Amino acid sequence: MAQRERDALTGRLTTGHEWDGIKELSTPIPTWWITTFLISIMVALIYLWLMPSFATTKSLEPGLLGWSSRGELREEQAIAAAAQAPWRQRLMAVPLEEVSKDEELRRFVQAGGRALFNENCAPCHGVGGGGQQGQFPALLDDDWLWGGKPADIIQTVRHGIRNTDEESRQSAMPVFGDSLSKEQIANVADYVLTLADKSKADSRAALPGATLFKDNCAGCHGENGEGGRDFGAPRLNDAIWLYGGSRDAIIHQITSPRMGSMPSFASRLNEESLRMLALYVHGLGGGE
């Protein structure tokens, strides 16, 4: 039978438990600890009462304060929008070409355009508009498929390219895999490879691919491969390639052309945002 006794050294009672001569002291929990514990329970209860804490079948019980992170975000957005409103009005009031003359406005457009670009465009065109070889064109060079004036860029972004938007930019390079033989395709590819080379300007006309190019390609890509904006047909006489400038890549494109597609942003971006984006892209280095 356990026996409680007073410990001589500490003066406390033991619990009466004993293991091989070792006895357990009965030490009460300190008052400061109990007090803190009770206070934290109270704080927790008050918090539960004030803040949204309990899920109902529909959403969350809003709590006495009715706070929500979404509401807080909405408030912050409203404040930001109010602060930006005069700038946005100013942006809409001047013609696109004259925005850069107003230094303050230019800086606003630059910052806003960059943020919009990173959010909407960078996944494809890369942060800073560097593009991704073989898939998405770089937007910082002066090689434009559809045009590099701010108004052209707005049109491209608003409606996109080769998508279901009725006003999207449309065109299709024909599939030559069926109509031209393998040899003819190789010949025309060899001809395309000479277009950027000035030293071959005179000799290239004698190549077997020359007539093939004139008959099949020049209508879109231009007599000298200077490109055709009406068709979004890339320049072929420079060092910038959408899908790679190797012989293989060119043969691949002629045999079964890839048709790059870009979504329409008409429903996602308002007029001011489109302007900011277009001017940002225009300012990346290649604007016309």
Collect all residues with Cβ–Cβ distance below 8 Å to 5 and sequence separation of at least 6: 13, 14, 16, 23
Minimal distance, residue 168 CB to ligand HEC, in Å: 10
How far is 276 from 157, CA to CA, in rounded Å? 11
By beta-carbon proximity to ligand HEC, the closer residue of 108 and 265 is 265
By C-beta, is 105 or 121 nearer to ligand HEC? 121
Note whether 144 binds ligand HEC by CB under 6 A.
Answer: yes
Q: Which of 146, 154, 39, 136 is nearest to 96 (CA)?
A: 154
Asked if 154 interacts with ligand HEC (CB under 6 A), we say no
Options 109, 136, 158, 279; binder of ligand HEC; rule CB under 6 A: 136
Q: Please, what's the b/e burial string for 148-179 (b: 16 or more CB within 10 A of its CB; e: otherwise)?
A: bebebbbbbbbbbbeeebeebbeeebeebeee
**The one segment of 41-49, 75-83, 137-145, 195-203 that binds ligand HEC by CB under 6 A:** 137-145
Please count the residues of this chain forming the interface with ligand HEC, following the rule CB under 6 A.
48
Please choose, from the candidates 156, 150, 139, 140, the residue with its C-alpha nearest in 3D space to the C-alpha of residue 97: 150
Cβ nearer to ligand HEC, comparing 114 with 125: 125
Question: How many whole angstroms separate alpha carbon 62 and alpha carbon 68?
Answer: 8
CB of 270 within 8 A of CB of 81?
no
Rule CB under 6 A: which of 222-261 touch ligand HEC? 231-234, 236, 241-243, 250, 253-254, 257-261
Stretch near ligand HEC under the rule CB under 6 A, chosen from 28-36, 89-97, 100-108, 216-224? 216-224
Q: Does 133 bind ligand HEC (CB under 6 A)?
A: no
Residue 91 to residue 87: CA distance in whole angstroms: 6
Backbone angles phi and psi of 94, in degrees to 5: -105, 150
> Which residues are near ligand HEC by CB under 6 A?
120-121, 123-125, 136-137, 139, 144-147, 153, 156-157, 161, 171, 173-174, 176, 188, 192, 216-217, 219-221, 231-234, 236, 241-243, 250, 253-254, 257-263, 265, 277, 281
